Every structure is written in C-alpha cells, then in structure tokens.
Structure 1
Amino acid sequence: MVEFESAIETRGLTKSFGAFRAVDGIDLTVPMGTVCAVLGPNGAGKTTTVRMIATLLRPDAGTARVFGYDVVRDATAVRSLIGLTGQYASVDEDLTATENLTIFARLLGSSGARAARRADELLEEFGLQSAASRPLKHFSGGMRRRLDLAASLIGRPPLLFLDEPTTGLDPRTRVQMWTTVRELVRTGTTVLLTTQYLDEADELADRVVVIDHGRVVADGTADELKATVGAAALTLRVAPADLPTAATLVHRYTGAEAVLTTDDGHLTVAAADTSALPEMLIALREAGIEVRELGLAQPSLDEVFFAITGPTDPLRVPEPA
C-alpha cells in the first residue's frame, strides 16, 4: 500500500436527516500514528461523522479518505483497514470469550487453527485468559468492553475508531483502557476517539477537535485549546494581615490587572506572564511574608469545552442512532 501522511482526511463532509443537518461541512485531518479526540455536545455530529468515515453512512456531500482510499468509491478497501468499537458491546453474551473472538476471526477469513491462535493472543493481551471459557453473561462491564476492543483488533487494523469506549466503566477500568490505547498507538495504530470525558481526551489525544452543530469549532492540541480560554490561574495563600502588601507585589510581578483576595489569606490572579514568579517569591520573602500555599494551573478542557460550545441547547435534535 502507498504510504500516506494522513490516516483520515475529510473535506466538506455533510450529512442530513430530513431537515436536520447533522454534519455541516466537516474538514478533518488525522496524521498516522496519533490519537485524535472528537468532542462535542450530544447531537453535535460526532457519531454521524465517525459512521461516514467508517463507511456505515453515505455522505450527502464532501469527501472522506482513509489512507488515501475514498470511503464511497473504495468502501471495501477502507473496511479492510479499520476497526470499530462502539458504545455497546457487539459480542454474544451466551458464548465464551474464546468462542466470540474465534467467530470474529473466522468471519474475517482465518482458518480454524489461525483463528484460535489469534483469539488466544488477544485474550492474553487484554488480560482475559482466566475468563476465556466463561460465558459473557457473567462478565463485568469492564471485561466486556475489553473483549469488544479485542474483537475490533482481530484483523490488526491500522486505524481504530473508538466511539465513547469507556462510557459506564469504573475509574480503574477506564485507566486500564487508556493504557491499552497508548500501547496500540505505540505500535503504530491510529485512533479516532469520541468521548464525553474531557479528562480522557486530555490524557490520550495528540489533537482535540471540537464539533458543535455539525461543524468544527476548534482544532488543536489540548494545550493550544486551553490557551484560547485565558491565562493560567496563580493562587497563593499568606497570613490575612499580609494580604495588602502581598497583593501589591503579586500585581507588580505578574502584571495582572486584578488580584482577587479572600479573608482567609488567599490571592488569585490570571497570570499571563509567569516568567517573573521566582523574583516575586524572593520579593515576598524579603518583605517578611510567608507563602503558605502556591499553585499554578492551566484552564481545564472542561473550561475550553464550555467556552467554545456554550450552554446546553435543550432544543437540539439528537443524532440518529
């Protein structure tokens, strides 16, 4: 196969359902070997976009390519290059883990012996060997999601779509899934991730794309998007009696227009320039002021999300299932 820099490239991708335009001209580029997280409110167009790129829906207009293959003209080739894990497990609860994976492998054309070997490999990779002969109806939610992800990797696809893969999982299992995704990317897989958890995007994504009302409204690294919201927040605590002098010094060294103070000795500023913080701390010490607490934090992706998309629109039409 010809080498391409981008695993996914869409231009003007559009899809309507009746009078409702779910996707309205999406331009998206996902470099190979990276994780791209797609965020957006419910009904923003995330899932519809993924389904078009994965050949499950035909676009009304625009183009989408996967490793250079057009998702409409070359749909068969595209399907051979992708794996898709949705929000709900696509496995049979009455079969064992081994039986489920073996069936998937046979459906993809593997012989019986090769299918059995691949099933064993994936059960080991996802820590499910001890439950290999157990019917899925007795699996926990986290085990089912790991098995579903394993099933999507039967054919070793170079591109993996993860549509809210950790929805409903406990924190420990979510972290285990994050470790699995990082390992997949380390070995060359490209991942397009839709998620409702902003910390998940912050942890995993090389690039974050925010979609709202069917359009891309922000695109960049997590740090780049955070920078659009505002400066880092500097917080420190001193003795209440030292607040006036401390506020003057903090203003002088940070250039902040306003220093917010509380009666218990906390000061908070939006610190656009943090390069002079060492000098500020020296000045506070020379003034005989003890800094009891000090913190510097960027805006969170949550703040970015709400700043970009605004409040929830109760009249927004949900995406078709």
Structure 2
Amino acid sequence: MPQLTVALDMMGGDHGPSVTVPAAAQALSLLPDLNLVLFGLEAELSPWLRRFKLDSHSRVCVQYCSQQVGNEHKAAYALRHLTDSSMRNALDALASRRAHACVSAGNTGALMAMAMKTLNTLPGVDRPALITRMPQAGGGYALLLDVGANLCCGAEQLVQFALMGEQAARHILGISHPRIGLLNVGVEANKGNESVREAAQRLQQVEGLHYTGYVEGDELFSGRVDVIVCDGFVGNVALKTSEGVARLLLGQRQQRGFLSKMLMLWLKKRLSHLNPDQYNGASLIGLRASVVKSHGSAGSPAFLNAILQAVSEIEHDLPASIAHRFDTAPRDSHAR
C-alpha cells in the first residue's frame, strides 16, 4: 500500500464533483507522494475526471458506487440502506487500511454514524468530536471542539474532548503544552450548567493538563487559549456565527468613493486570515483513523484545505497520540 493514501467521497456537499475533482487534482500537483482513492457515481464523476485528466492518473484509483448520501437522509437510514454510497465506501477503504484518512463534505450525521460503525472509537472515548481551527488575533489558530457531532454532552464527554483537543494542538498546531479552556457564559466558578461546572472541577485534577479555566464567547479569537472545549450545540452556533461575520466583513462592497474602496481593500487584506475557506476541515477525532469533514458549501480551495488537513493528520498519526494520552491519563480523570 502506498505510504500516503486518502479516500475521498467525491459526491458529498452541495456541489459534488465540480468542487471535489478540481481540489483532488490540485492536491496531487502539490503533494507528489499523495495517492487518492476516489468514490462516486459514474455518470456524474467520470466527465469531471476526464476533464481534469484524473481518469488515467498514476496516483488515482477510482471506485464507482451506486448510491449517494444526501443531506435529507437520516443517519439511521443511511447506515442501514446506503451501504454502497460513496461515503460508506470511502470509510470502508479506511477501515480496511486501503487508505490512511478519509475526507467527505457530506451529511454530518450520516458520516458520524457510518464512521463509528466502520472504524469504532478509541479505547476510553465514548463518541468522536468534530474539531476545527479558529483564527486568532495574534496570528495562528486555536482549536474548537465539539462543533456539531454531539449536541448534548455531559461532564465526562467534555473531559474527553479536552484530552483529545490537547493532543490535536500538540501534533497539528505544534504547541508543546496547549492551554485548555471551557467555553462558558462567564468566568466565575458558579457560572454555567452542571455539566460544565463538573467538567471544570475534573479538568483541574488531570495531571499534566494545562487547564486555564472558563473562556467567554468574546475570547474565541483572543489567543488566550489553544483549545476551546464545549458541547456540539454551542460549538456549532459559535462556529457558524464566526463564519457569518467573517464573510460579512470580507464580502462587503463600497460602490462609491475612492477612499472607501481603498479602505475596504485594506481591510480585506488585513482580515484575509479570517476567510473560512482557509481553515475548512473539521476532523472527527476520537476514532481509530482520521476522518475529515469539509463544509457542505465548500468550494474547491476549501475542499483542498480539508485534504491537506487529512494529510497532516496522517503524518502526525493523531489517532495514535490520542490513544496514548488516554492510556497515560489517570483513570479517575476520564473514566465513569
């Protein structure tokens, strides 16, 4: 098996092959050691493969499927009935070790259900979490999790998210001793719901974990912490709100006045790091292999970044580092 192989669900997202194929072609041109296994419906995928000359590429393997997971499909239905979908086949390639990571822009609920079925979670992990990068005011990124995989979480899951996020920050962001914070409605010890308060108490007792306390919403981009932990409902709202504000700032147009136009160009240059396309790719961590979820509305540059994120996780063997962290953490810090 090639050293660096990524399985791609070519049918996921709002645009399918018109986005995923150009991104795949760009990834191959950037990374000479990259091999891709592409999964999709032949009628829709093959014309794009010919257009970008991937149908005969030496580092591309194409597997046509008979089904596609749509946004309208419930996770349980997709799991039971869409076993020959591009998403399921891409995950099966990962489970059978024909690939080292998988990328999909498809239905999040279906992706999580299928990933848990085919890959299983690491020992000590109840459920995987979606983790993504958030640009910071001083440059660089912080990690936010969960951003939508688990809408309601107890203290146990929040502690697990903190341990997983710590390893992601170490191996993906290159931070040796990441600062961990819990997203909350205030910084006082009595603020927040019961799960958040209990998680805070337990995180203070985890040996070797640099837990800094609560983080409020206005500090998401402050650079005060490296990992921001929350449940999937709060995290998804925070992420989508941030992306909406970024697109508002970057997409505004001033129709009149030379100075207004120059100011807008200056702002766009200064705020270009806030463009959501640059940090597209939420990793479903806590599984036995790397799965990256791209935004459903992502364009080709954004889907390319999701592929590059998958490659980075392969190179750093993120699942193995998370497994090791759970092995070495005190049992009473993350066990029920």
| Bigger Rg, which one | 1
Give the TM-score taking structure 1 as reference length. Answer: 0.30
Greater helix proportion: 2
Give the TM-score taking structure 2 as reference length. Answer: 0.29
